[in-house]
């Protein structure tokens, strides 16, 4: 139960969004929502790369970038694995930690693969109230029918980015996703239009290949 509570708090601290439909995530805004947003448009859906992290670091004002080692790039597990594979290919010794242009990386399984958070560790504040309440009950129709005991842990938490300019949330967004989010009806109409066009192209290609075959037979 303690491990699950820790996982839920980490998920809320990173992905919290008061506008979310998820019961847990809408409790509070997390670090990704509170930081400065940097969108990178891509042709295809992909994970964050070294260039994206470097671009996020360059977005931070120069007066806060005196020492890159004080910053951390918080990334997802797949992005971390890609960095490790790339680092181990360029060196004979096995590396277990990575850094991007002098910025150490930190992996969290709750960071979306299309996102990364670049900030100093002391800039992200995770506040937990000491007064925690643990309640349990074995009453109620569901608990009685299953013969189970339910526990509820009540904790007051809050998250703060002290200097928003020194914390950047970089995320990749494909052109298709951006258009679908902005013009959902238009994309549906476009799909309906492009399907018959593709079918027409296929018919033309089939006719051209048939003509080529006929000419080749005639010459033979």
**Segments making up each domain of the chain, as ranges:** 2-174, 183-219
156-211 pLDDT, tens per residue? 999 999 999 999 999 988 877 666 666 666 555 555 545 555 666 666 677 777 77
Identify the sign of the CA torsion 108, 112, 113, 115. negative
Q: Which long-range contacts (CB under 8 A, 24 or more apart) does 185-189 make?
A: none
Reported as half-sphere exposure (CB side, CA atoms, 13 A), residue 79 has a value of 29
- Give which of 21, 28, 1, 2 is closest to 11, Cα–Cα: 28
- pTM: predicted TM-score of the whole model, two decimal places: 0.72
Q: CB within 8 A of 107, min separation 6: which ones?
A: 74, 75, 76, 77, 80
Check: CB of residue 83 under 8 Å from CB of residue 100: yes
116-152 pLDDT, tens per residue? 999 998 999 999 888 889 888 888 888 778 888 888 8
103-118 pLDDT, tens per residue? 899 999 999 999 999 9
């Amino acid at each position: 139960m303690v491990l699950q509570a820790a996982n839920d708090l980490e998920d809320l601290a990173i992905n919290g969004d008061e506008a979310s439909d998820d019961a847990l995530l809408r409790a509070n805004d997390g670090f990704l929502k509170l930081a400065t947003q940097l969108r990178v448009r891509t042709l295809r859906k992909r994970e964050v790369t070294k260039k994206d992290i470097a671009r996020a670091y360059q977005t931070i004002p120069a007066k806060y970038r005196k020492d890159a080692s004080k910053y951390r790039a918080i990334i997802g597990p797949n992005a971390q694995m890609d960095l490790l594979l790339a680092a181990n290919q360029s060196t004979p010794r096995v590396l277990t930690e990575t850094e991007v242009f002098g910025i150490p990386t930190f992996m969290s399984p709750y960071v979306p693969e299309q996102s990364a958070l670049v900030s100093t560790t002391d800039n992200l504040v995770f506040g937990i109230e000491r007064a925690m309440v643990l309640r349990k009950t074995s009453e109620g129709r569901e608990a009685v029918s299953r013969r189970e005991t339910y526990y509820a842990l009540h904790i007051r938490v809050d998250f703060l980015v002290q200097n928003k300019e020194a914390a950047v949330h970089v995320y990749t967004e494909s052109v298709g996703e951006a258009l679908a989010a902005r013009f959902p009806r238009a994309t549906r109409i476009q799909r309906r239009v492009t399907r018959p066009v593709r079918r027409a192209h296929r018919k033309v290609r089939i006719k051209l290949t048939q003509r080529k075959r006929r000419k080749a037979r005639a010459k033979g």
